[in-house]
Amino acid sequence: MIVLKILLWIILAVLGIILLILFLPVRAEAAFIGNKLTYKLKYSFLLLYDSDKRGLIAWYLRRKKQKDAEADKDDDSFDADTSVSDDTSDSADLSADDVSDMTAEEENAPETDIDSAAETDAPTPSEDNVAETLADDIPEEKPEKDKKKKKKKKKEKEEIVFPDTLIDKADFVLDIWRAADRPILRIFKGIKLHELYIDFIIANEDAYKCALNYGRISGAVYNLLGWMGVLFNVKLKTVDINAGFGLENSRWDAAGKLCVRPITAVIAGLSLLITYLFRYFIPYKLQERKLKKQAIRQK
């Protein structure tokens, strides 16, 4: 009993830690002001990465580079040591080989003549034997009727199986799409965009072109903000778009912050799974069983 209680407490502690990790928010900040990009990524109060290359991810990447550099140095030193040892051993082997070659040549001088004579006396294979061996190696060609039958069977299989699998896949994708509309909206609504700052000046020396660009850009920006307000939780700080008639350089200052909790994605995934199972998967399986039973009864 004591062991079971300890295991239960350990499991509860692990679940509590996982829930705490899922509830802590992930924050991202980005700003493009004065033609300079700055960004920052945080997990709750922990800095993960920023534009100055600080944080846990930056520390991990630096450690990895250092380890790779140390490993390369060790490999280079090992290769240098092995090359020196190989040179010394080769020189010793060469001296020993020279002595053995001299003795072998002196001992085997008469034997080479005998071997050459034996080779000249050996019989050569006839042309008939060569033709028979080649004929045995060549595989027999299958009749054309068997090939035509196999081609017909392949065509029949493709005509029968492929459309069914394609229709099943399309139905499966459509079912997931129908079941995923609300969970996806829940994920989007869990994303918070706040302190959104936009300050644009659309400049052009030509007043006509400046007015056209101002109309296009301002319309696109406001439509995008309206679309984002439907999907996400958006809080605007300032949105200011002006036309700079007679100016040479435009200004594109923008900044914003994003916050999301991982638990929203987990909840949305569970709701997607439940809706798919009870709305599409289980009714489909029940219908299949009914159809099979009806087919068996008819037989």
pLDDT in tens, 6-29: 888 899 889 888 888 888 889 999
Contacts for 23 with CB less than 8 Å, ≥ 6 apart = 261, 263
Instruction: Give the pLDDT confidence score for residue 111 in this predicted structure.
Output: 45
Neighbours of 123 (CB within 10 A): 5
Residue 201: which H helix or E strand, with range? Answer: strand 192-204
286 vs 292: CA distance, rounded Å: 10
* 3-class state of residue 65 by DSSP: helix
Q: How confident is the model at residue 69 (pLDDT cuts 50, 70, 90)?
A: confident
Tokens of 298: 């008819």
Instruction: Give the pLDDT confidence score for residue 134 in this predicted structure.
Output: 46
What is the sign of the dihedral through the CA atoms of 49, 55, 60 and 66? positive
Compute the mean pLDDT over every residue in the chain, rounded to the nearest whole number: 75
208 vs 116: CA distance, rounded Å: 100
Domain boundaries, the chain: 21-54+164-299, 67-102
Q: Does position 138 have pLDDT exceeding 60, yes or no? A: no
Residue type, position 80, single letter = A
Contacts for 166 with CB less than 8 Å, ≥ 6 apart = none
145 vs 249: CA distance, rounded Å: 78
Alpha carbon distances (Å) from 31 to 26, 28, 224, 241, 256: 17, 10, 18, 17, 6
Q: pLDDT for 205-263, tens place per residue? A: 888 888 999 999 999 999 999 888 888 888 998 999 998 888 888 899 999 999 988 88
Q: Cα–chain-centroid distance for residue 187?
A: 23
Instruction: Give the pLDDT confidence score for residue 187 in this predicted structure.
Output: 81
Q: Does position 115 have pLDDT exceeding 50, yes or no? A: no
Instruction: Tabulate helix, strand, coil % of the chain (nearest 5).
Output: 70, 20, 15
50 forms beta bridges with: 40
